[in-house]
Amino acid sequence: MSKMANRNRARNRLVFKLGLVTLAMFGFGYALVPLYDLLCDATGINGKVEVTASEYDPSQQRIDASREVRMRFISVRNEDTPVRIVAKQPSLVVHPGQVYQVDYSITNPTDKEMVIQAVPSVTPGQAADNLKKIQCFCFNNLTLQPREKLDTKVVFYLENELEKDVPSVILSYTVFDITQRVQN
């Protein structure tokens, strides 16, 4: 066999292997979202919550006064978002099945109008399905005028189905400035 044929065969094998690597990389990238969701479910981190209102029917919920769950309310802002958001009550002891309200203050410290979006998450992740929000500022984008301070609230309850080994739940909001995206 000639040197040229060997080179062509080696080049063809290399092209084939690089094609397989590229295909594998594409497949791995495509599978990252479901893999991430599985990892979050397994570890209980990054609890995703619904961003639509839940209906509360008092006849369907019983208040479990014998059980107490400490709720903590944390707010952070994306590094590019100057808006300040703070829960007026940073923690609360709740009974599953009972409706609670937590007031928040959102301030735009800038001289420009801003549109913000609050993205909620719950820790531990297994509590995310049991935290039901009846009213929340996270359901819609908020427009804040320059130097405006907005008082708003979250009305929620924990379902009785929350696992008994969950003594505390953290409801966290990350605020993003989406002004440019909305204007385009």
Q: What is the mean pLDDT of residues 40-52?
A: 53
pLDDT at 55 over 70: no
What is the distance between the alpha carbons of residues 102 and 110, in angstroms, rounded to a whole number?
25
* DSSP strands (E only) in 88-144: 91-94, 100-107, 114-123, 131-135, 142-144
- Let me know whether 94 and 27 are in one domain: no
- Let me know whether 141 and 82 are in one domain: yes
- Domains in the chain: how many in total? 2
Residues, the chain, total?
Answer: 184
- Let me know whether 63 and 137 are in one domain: yes
Here the tokens at position 30 are: 């495509």
| H-helix segments, 1-62 | 3-43
CATH of the domain at 84: 2.60.370.10
Domain membership of residue 138 as a residue range: 47-183
Query: Which amino acid type is present at position 65?
Result: A
DSSP bridge partners of 122: 47, 171
- Let me know whether 98 and 127 are in one domain: yes
Q: What is the mean pLDDT of residues 38-67?
A: 64
- Let me know whether 107 and 69 are in one domain: yes
pLDDT one-digit tens code per residue, 103-134: 999 999 999 999 999 999 999 988 888 999 99
* Residue recorded with tokens 């209102």: 53
DSSP bridge partners of 176: 117
Higher pLDDT, 44 or 10: 10
What is the distance between the alpha carbons of residues 129 and 100, in angstroms, rounded to a whole number?
17
Terminal alpha carbon distance of the chain: 63
Distance of CA 167 to CAs 9, 99, 139, 142, Å? 64, 18, 27, 32
Q: What is the mean pLDDT of residues 30-52?
A: 60
- Let me know whether 34 and 52 are in one domain: no
